[in-house]
Amino acid sequence: MRTRVQWRVSVRLVGTVLKWLWVPLLLPLGIALYDGTTTLPFLGTILGTVGLGVGLEQLTDETTMYEREAFLMVALTWLSVAFVGAAPFVLAGGGTIAQPTNALFESMSGITTTGATVIVDFDAHSRAVFMWRAVLQWLGGLGILVLATAVLSQLGVGGAQLMETESQTRDVNKLTPRISETASLLWQLYLGLTGLQVAVLMGLHFAGYAPEMTLYDAVTHAFTTVSTSGFSPRAESIAAFSPAVQWAVVPFMVVGATNFVLIYAVLRGDIERLRNSDEFRFYLTLLGLFTVGIGGILAVENTYTSPEAIARHSLFQVVSIVTTTGYASVDFNLWSSGAKHLLFVCMFVGGMTGSTTCSIKTLRWLVVLKAFRRDLFVASNPNVVRPVRLSGKVVTEDTIRDIYAYTLVSLLIFIVATVFVAVNASRSRVPVTEFEAMGAAASTFFNVGPAFGIAGPFASYEPFSRSTTLVMTFLMWVGRIEIIPVLVILTPSYWRS
């Protein structure tokens, strides 16, 4: 029996990830060279991250990971990339994100695909800096795909073993080969979707439907749509573009929050697999229900005069929040309390497992609802055995318990976070209502991005106190990697025999 976690193995793999960060850093560097803006932030970060990564790789030659090492590797990877990703913001030196705590928040918001920003003045930053924000999110989306399909499903985190994956074998003893195998498959699909969105957005531009759309806009928004992450170089997010662009972005958000293994199956011609997926049907149903709900409120309250605007904004915002993208087609902060509240509830949903989405996810909610219904039946029929089925397969009682536990622990952490944000804001006289505190806590923890009030879609998280900023940075980190890895490594027994 082993006695301790082999942390060197975890850190070694983190080193490999950091070492390769020089490749994505070439993109903002290229923009900086092209625009003639400062290249120092990116050159400096490249040097630093390669040096750090190569250094960490020297810690050990061992590469075999078990559960403990995998949890540590996952937690440290997201944390260390957030630190490295903050360097360009600090080195660039402009605006609110030059301050180190803010830079870490912005970078964590990037790599966790959250999209909450502490930028106040969008004119204070170069196009290269905005490109780096978008690249961080694109990387974060790819990272989470690999994490969800290759790592978490193997570790059985929060019922993730239920997710529809290519292979149903669980062999945690050799995680590393599986990670690279799954990654290569997914990253082609991910790249393809990104390219398709760039093509669609530029097509709209050349057809005259999107005069404001530049190639730079198309690329940065494609990076942050397919990754359901939501950073935009525009202060007004997608509201800066024409209705045609807003409509065009919706399907890419929907696809970004769909299980990539299912998308892959469809591309191979296996449409049955998608049609038989209980989770996919449930995901679309929820999108429909919330859209009708918010559309109904906007219509009854005469928020917009044109039916097209009502349909567009209700669909766009519901898809944006449920898929945890966080884009805004309009300042929903100005909506009535009923509409805002419903949008707040959307934050708890999330898209499908095996996608780039965050939050609790439709798989878990569906199993929770199915298990509830079964429990009610058994309560009045105590002698009947009735298993819970998902897409025709029986869900084990252990998995149901894991999913219950995950969903509950998510809600509990959210509640504790709201207390911190509300009390701290009240103490430091930041103008935040209780609801806005809850919205900001949910939006960071569930990696949605915008919330309400000062955290609204066209506003900035900057007014929050430094301690709140740090707590929100922590929340984004914990929420993105499905909570359990962080909680596990924070458990004292983890570090003992």
Toward a copy of itself, which CB reaches closer, 208 or 492? 492
Residue 449 within binding range of K ion, rule CB under 5 A: yes
Select the binding partner of residue 214 from a copy of itself, K ion, none (C-beta < 5 to 8 A, by kind).
none
Contacts with a copy of itself, residue ranges (CB under 8 A): 5, 67-68, 71, 155, 157, 293, 297, 300-301, 336-342, 344-345, 348, 368, 371-373, 375-377, 379-382, 397-398, 400-402, 404-405, 407-409, 411-412, 415, 418-419, 422-427, 432-435, 437-438, 484, 487-488, 491, 493-494
From the list 230, 351, 453, 457, which residue makes contact with K ion (rule: CB under 5 A)?
A: 230
Q: How far apart are CA 264 and CA 250, in angstroms?
A: 20
Among 175, 153, 173, 171, smallest CA distance to 162 is for 153
CB of 59 to a copy of itself, least distance (A): 20
Select the binding partner of residue 424 from K ion, a copy of itself, none (C-beta < 5 to 8 A, by kind).
a copy of itself
Q: List, in order, residues 6 or more apart from 270 with CB less than 8 Å away.
A: none
Q: How far apart are CA 240 and CA 349, in angstroms?
A: 27
Q: Which residues of 247-256 are buried (b: 16+ CB within 10 A; e: fewer)?
A: bbbbebbbbb
Residue 326 within binding range of K ion, rule CB under 5 A: yes
CB of 237 to a copy of itself, least distance (A): 22
Q: How far apart are CA 276 and CA 256, in angstroms?
A: 19
Residue 229 within binding range of K ion, rule CB under 5 A: yes
CB of 56 to K ion, least distance (A): 29
Select the binding partner of residue 405 from a copy of itself, K ion, none (C-beta < 5 to 8 A, by kind).
a copy of itself
CB of 272 to a copy of itself, least distance (A): 30
In contact, 39 and 33? CB cutoff 8 Å? yes
Q: How far apart are CA 248 and CA 267, in angstroms?
A: 20
Give the CA distances from residue 490 to residues 200, 430, 446, 478, in Å, rounded to whole numbers and listed in that order: 45, 30, 20, 11
Site string for K ion, 380-419 (x = CB under 5 A): ----------------------------------------
Toward a copy of itself, which CB reaches closer, 122 or 404? 404
Q: How far apart are CA 96 and CA 8, in angstroms?
A: 36
Identify the burial level of 225 via C-beta atoms within 10 angstroms of its C-beta, where 0-12 means exposed, 13-18 middle and 19 or more buried: buried
To 10 degrees, the CA torsion angle through 240, 243, 245, 246? Answer: 80
CB of 411 to a copy of itself, least distance (A): 6
CB of 369 to a copy of itself, least distance (A): 9
Toward K ion, which CB reaches closer, 65 or 253? 253
Q: List, in order, residues 6 or more apart from 98 with CB less than 8 Å away.
A: 89, 90, 92
CB of 20 to a copy of itself, least distance (A): 28
Toward K ion, which CB reaches closer, 10 or 194? 194
Number of residues that bind K ion (CB under 5 A): 6
User: DSSP of 413-451, one letter per residue?
Assistant: HHHHHHHHHHHHHHHTT----HHHHHHHHHHHHTT----
Angle at 41 (CA atoms; ends 461, 475), nearest 5 degrees? 30
Select the binding partner of residue 427 from a copy of itself, K ion, none (C-beta < 5 to 8 A, by kind).
a copy of itself
**Phi and psi for 393 in degrees, rounded to 5?**
-95, 145
Residue 115 within binding range of K ion, rule CB under 5 A: yes
Select the binding partner of residue 400 from a copy of itself, K ion, none (C-beta < 5 to 8 A, by kind).
a copy of itself
Residue for token digits 């800096």?
129
Residue 351 within binding range of K ion, rule CB under 5 A: no
CB of 336 to a copy of itself, least distance (A): 5
Toward a copy of itself, which CB reaches closer, 169 or 380? 380
| Tokens encoding 305 | 């005069």
Q: How far apart are CA 453 and CA 494, in angstroms?
A: 40
CB of 232 to a copy of itself, least distance (A): 26
CB of 400 to K ion, least distance (A): 28
Stretch that binds K ion, among 179-187, 223-231, 313-321, 464-472 (CB under 5 A): 223-231
Instruction: Go through the chain and tell me how many residues it has.
Output: 497
Toward a copy of itself, which CB reaches closer, 34 or 372? 372
Residue 479 within binding range of K ion, rule CB under 5 A: no
SS3 (DSSP) at 395: strand
Toward K ion, which CB reaches closer, 463 or 479? 479
Which residues face 395 on adjacent strands? 388
Interface with K ion (CB under 5 A): 115, 229-230, 324, 326, 449
